Amino acid sequence: MMATEFLSVFAGRRVMVTGHTGFKGSWLAFLLNEIGAEVLGYALPAEQKESHFVVLALDKSIRHVEGDVRDGTKLTETMAGFQPEFVFHLAAQALVRPSYTDPKATFETNVMGSVNLLEAVRQCESVRSLVYITSDKCYENLEWVWGYRENDRLGGYDPYSASKAAAEIAFSAYARSFFAHRPELGAATARAGNVIGGGDWALDRIVPDCIRAIGLGKPVVLRNPKATRPWQHVLEPLAGYLLLAMRLREQPLTYSSAWNFGPPSSEVRTVLQVAEQIVSRIGRGSVVIEPSEVKLHEANLLQLNCDKAHRLLGWKPRWNVEKTLEATADWYKAVMDGAEVAMVTRQQLRDYFPELK
């Protein structure tokens, strides 16, 4: 399907995005605003002054509400006041290693925060399409070589992964207990692999760690260089979420289920390969390996099977891993060289969706 066919669906529609101050959320809110949607974002303040949300000045172009998903009353009141037709739930504590530091907050945000979102949707009759984003880490990871399907067992070794599995179980309960009695409402979960792209400044993620090191003139330090991930550009799953949201609005009974969005196994790369290609593309910096003395469990192998999205949604990745790494490095290089962030972001949207030109 041409992007213009499904992106145009959102023009003039009310769309609520939780977690819009985060990396993925800022790209989604920016894209929706570019295509003419009426966007309300609900999230905590951005964590860094250089965050994508802040430098895009998104608070001036969309309705921006600062709020915690753990505050169920405010979340419900905000949704009720806005009366959205589409809801994208991205708000989360999104990293594995911080979940070891503060597991309680991770569960409170990712489980009870998500329950609050589901409860707000349950009470808001305007919602026709809910895309509830969790993570590829919601699967009980046995580190086998084939990809996990949507009906594989949920679980999690670390608090982050377990919280995402629990969020999926909460969704299933609401879908069967409440949403099934609203045939006009389409609701689905979306599980995506690791995303990279410009504007990510989170700690403990390989690309922003590379960029910070390069900016400081220091080598990029890797603690787990052989770990593999299904790297994809942030626009890949976002295109999937938007396509899914449209289908949920059109045919709620057909598409209300779980969906994987990730690259094929041929596109998997190690952390070392990603760091080396980022450094090479930017043209400066170096990579060193220093295994961490803190032995926290992190998965070495995780892959999704996306046959369902390919066949039933018609979604497939547009960029291979080389193009993904090039676009990511080019975004940071352009911004480090003084280019306007909104201009660089807008250009990459049009590179990915050439139909929008």
- Model pLDDT, residue 139: 96
Distance CA 80, CA 43 (A): 16
Residue 170 lies in a domain: yes
Q: What pLDDT, in 10s, does the model give residues 8-54?
A: 999 999 999 999 999 999 999 999 999 999 999 999 999 888 899 99
Average pLDDT of the residues in 313-342:
96
Residue 146 CB burial class (10 angstroms; 0-12, 13-18, ≥19)? exposed
Confidence of residue 296 (pLDDT cuts 50, 70, 90): low
DSSP class per residue in 79-121: HHHH--SEEEE--S---HHHHHH-HHHHHIIIIIHHHHHHHHH
Residue 7 lies in a domain: no
- Model pLDDT, residue 1: 60
236 contact partners, CB below 8 Å, separation of at least 6:
192, 195, 261, 263, 317, 318, 319, 324
Residue 8 lies in a domain: no
- Model pLDDT, residue 37: 97
Residue 6 lies in a domain: no
Residue 321's domain comprises 13-352
Sign of CA dihedral 189, 263, 331, 160: positive
- Model pLDDT, residue 232: 95
Residue 1 lies in a domain: no
**Identity at 109, one-letter amino acid code:** T
CB 188 within 8 A of CB 132: yes
DSSP 146: S
Residue 148 lies in a domain: yes
204 contact partners, CB below 8 Å, separation of at least 6:
95, 96, 97, 98
What are the tokens at 226? Answer: 């052989």
| Phi, psi angle pair for 228, to nearest 5° | -105, 150
Residue 255 lies in a domain: yes
Q: pTM for the whole thing? A: 0.95
Residue 4 lies in a domain: no
Q: What pLDDT, in 10s, does the model give residues 220-248?
A: 999 888 888 889 999 999 999 999 999 99
| CATH code assigned at 30 | 3.40.50.720
Domain total of the chain: 1
303 contact partners, CB below 8 Å, separation of at least 6:
145, 146, 147, 148, 193, 230, 262, 265, 268
Share above pLDDT 90 across residues of the chain, in percent, rounded to a whole number: 82
- Model pLDDT, residue 5: 76
Does 256 or 269 have the greater pLDDT score? Answer: 256
- Model pLDDT, residue 300: 62
